[in-house]
Structure 1
């Protein structure tokens, strides 16, 4: 009888909370206690949200247990909220799994004044270390050259490029954060990279999604999430040791890397993101403009419109981050006739912009013409948002763009790539997909060009 009474009380409180928040955007009817969890595909939630946007419009509400989540979909609505009302939508949601991993620190997880100071400092530091200058190109080129040598060692045999690509791109980040590159066989480098990959895997797994709703309950049961927390703690200790080792040796007039800069600032935070290329194009344009006797440069980009269009279309088509890291309302805000209360979680549905038929010539398939004008010149598209938007846009966007362009063009200068199976048999569906889509690993042939 007492148990029945407790259940009824919980149901009553749940129903009361769901009905007490008026003026929220409409959405599917939630179940007591559970909200809309049973209706969401935890493997590919963004597809469910895209479906809801067709029924409820560009702004709608779902419930995760007893917590409302407002989802913003479509180019115009995302532009209005993330940019037009950027300050109001700039908070970071206290997503349990993310908070557990970051301990609530760093530019990714904080909000308000602390986040603004951290973001401003990080941007200034990255600019100081040449985030958009030639020095960063030199770091990328060093890794690209090593990548080419590794591909050549395969001697035309089939191989999987995934680890090689991850290692080289991660080393660019390590050179900025730690002031040095790692040898690929270095145990510490392998562990750091494995931990980053594990974070992404668990964040995008069903258990990760369930943890974010019922964190206390899931914590009681064994699973991969506990192994991840252990590895993250080890990686954090390594970074702390690196910081402590610099305290007495850092030159205040000339910091050498991001750790030196943070030591001088009496704070410490490391964030890295590894993105992989997963498609290639014909290299005729690269041959004509760059040739095979010199390095490609970011300065060549303006003379390689089709190549640039292919790189952008790969990113649009892959849609690696269909949902941005959850935001949080900083204050009660009226938008489109609705009132979104302070503290409510917000999901920016970035995927909706990449397939918006109002913004793309051919949104449903791979077509570089989406980024070319009638004269074959590269044409920017405001709906191309793959690094986030507004005040929470990714700080590493400039670095990622340089990496993609240099790696892509240099590989095509040196190799002809072929699949090991007929193209129609290739499965390009991601292996994991929630807030991010993880591309499948695959084998290919890298045939050296004469």
Structure 2
């Protein structure tokens, strides 16, 4: 009996192996994927990656297999692009073929292909055109985006001033300031720094960012059919999503009740008007579901990536006080203490501009990029990628490439300065990706980084409770995303400066039990 059972098991295993090999051959009859390390059964190449810092093992694979290679994330084949030249060839030269959105299992379960970031095909094209146009329109008019950022920078100054030089954790206050800028466009108002409901949402966004950077998320991406049933912190992201969804849905309801089609106040109004205009078009993608999911994606992406970059920036400036001093010298010389920083100052501030670019490069907040997929069978660098192949554009490979940056693992503003001290561009500077899927908020983020950083350094000198040599720059979490470490700093007021330069008011609200009450009437 035991011999018969053993023979049956052996025969079954042989049949399964033959079926596996046949299916694999049938699935890839025309493909010629890039080379890569041999995968283990079930695990794929998981053991060759590190949950804490995936960039270095990917760079070792690049050295062995070239700038384009294939890895198995469990049973899933994924192509990684790991050089500036190959990234530009894919994202720019073959932009259409690489314009699909790849699989991010946790986010796909939340959004199910809805919203401008996660959509594909005609849905993505319609939403992308609308978002690009609408966000541009709300950057002009009565109150430009620049003015809104300048005002929010002053609110941030006043909030930091309340610390009176005592050490504080800048995480939530920076997130709040950055989020208020996108809120002014999406919702038409900002939120007070004491608004407890909004502070809770900022905490949720920060926690979601950390979850997306964790080892559990990596495991979930690799083995979704198994890990989804295992209890663990990876399930928290779904509760975070529900809180954001409920918040956005409530804002949508408020806009619907007060909508004036002749005078859109914000992004939500504009989308609601577009929904009405397109309701007779059976091919339109302007639905309530796409409105809610797009707003969540803009709200999250518009908050956390820029605020994380700023937090890394402040930490770098306290670790390297001599760099902070040089930025302050340039701020004092070009802007002075009698007016707020403006974007037209940036062209006369090469060192500050170089420091901000170097902060983005060094922080490397989205090292693996957001995955793409090819929209058709695609010839690329001598290989054939079948339609639907997931592709990771490893942005960190360009940002930390010694071919373009002399000492990539060091924080060195000289990477963006020529021999005469003028600002110089660098082709490998790709923190916003490139091509058709380039970050929607690129222009907004660049304005926020310049205006907020220069405003803070105009008013304060930042110091750490620790000695500079004791400050650790290691990310708090480093997987698909890099999260800056926790830290505290002192903001020491500088002599002189404007007491308050908050411009023309725009609406501030404080929520209480879901009802918005104007705290200070601020109109454009």
Q: Do 2:372 and 2:390's aligned partners in 1 also have CA atoms closer than 8 Å?
A: yes
Q: Do 2:67 and 2:86's aligned partners in 1 also have CA atoms closer than 8 Å?
A: yes
- Partner residue of 2:474 out of 429, 435, 441: 429
Q: Do 1:205 and 1:433's aligned partners in 2 also have CA atoms closer than 8 Å?
A: yes
Q: Do 2:99 and 2:373's aligned partners in 1 also have CA atoms closer than 8 Å?
A: yes
1:107 aligns with 2:116: yes
Q: Do 1:388 and 1:394's aligned partners in 2 also have CA atoms closer than 8 Å?
A: yes
Distance in structure 1 (CA, Å) of the matches to 2:471 and 2:142: 38
Q: 2:35 aligns to what?
A: 26
The normalised TM-score by structure 2 is 0.82
Deviations 1:365-420 (A, max 9, x none): 22111111222211111211111111111101111111100111011111111121
* Gap regions ≥5 residues in structure 1: none
- Partner residue of 1:144 out of 149, 153, 161: 153
1:188 aligns with 2:197: yes
Q: CA RMSD in A?
A: 2.0
Distance in structure 2 (CA, Å) of the matches to 1:291 and 1:55: 52
Runs of 4+ in structure 1 deviating by more than 3 angstroms, as ranges, are 1-22, 131-134
In 2 relative to 1, CA 210–7 (structure 1 residues): closer, same or farther, beyond 3 Å?
farther
1:191-206 alignment runs, 5 A limit: 191-206=200-215
1:30-429 alignment runs, 5 A limit: 30-130=39-139, 135-266=144-275, 267=287, 268=291, 269-270=294-295, 271-272=298-299, 273=301, 274=304, 275-276=306-307, 277=310, 278-279=312-313, 280=317, 281-282=324-325, 283-429=328-474
Distance in structure 2 (CA, Å) of the matches to 1:309 and 1:430: 22
Deviations 1:207-255 (A, max 9, x none): 1111112222222122223332123123213312322332243222221
Distance in structure 2 (CA, Å) of the matches to 1:421 and 1:35: 43
Distance in structure 2 (CA, Å) of the matches to 1:209 and 1:440: 20
Report the 3-state secondary structure (helix = DSSP H, G, I; strand = E; otherwise coil) of the residue aligned with 2:258.
coil
In 2 relative to 1, CA 159–132 (structure 1 residues): closer, same or farther, beyond 3 Å?
farther
Deviations 1:152-172 (A, max 9, x none): 222122222222111111111
Q: Do 2:172 and 2:199's aligned partners in 1 also have CA atoms closer than 8 Å?
A: no
Distance in structure 2 (CA, Å) of the matches to 1:91 and 1:394: 14
Distance in structure 1 (CA, Å) of the matches to 2:439 and 2:222: 25
Between structure 1 and structure 2, the one with the greater Rg is 2
Deviations 1:319-350 (A, max 9, x none): 11111111111011111111011111101011
Aligned length: 450
Q: 2:522 aligns to what?
A: none
Distance in structure 2 (CA, Å) of the matches to 1:133 and 1:54: 53
Q: Do 1:131 and 1:399's aligned partners in 2 also have CA atoms closer than 8 Å?
A: no
Per-residue deviation, 1:189: 1.1
Deviations 1:187-212 (A, max 9, x none): 33123223322322222111111111
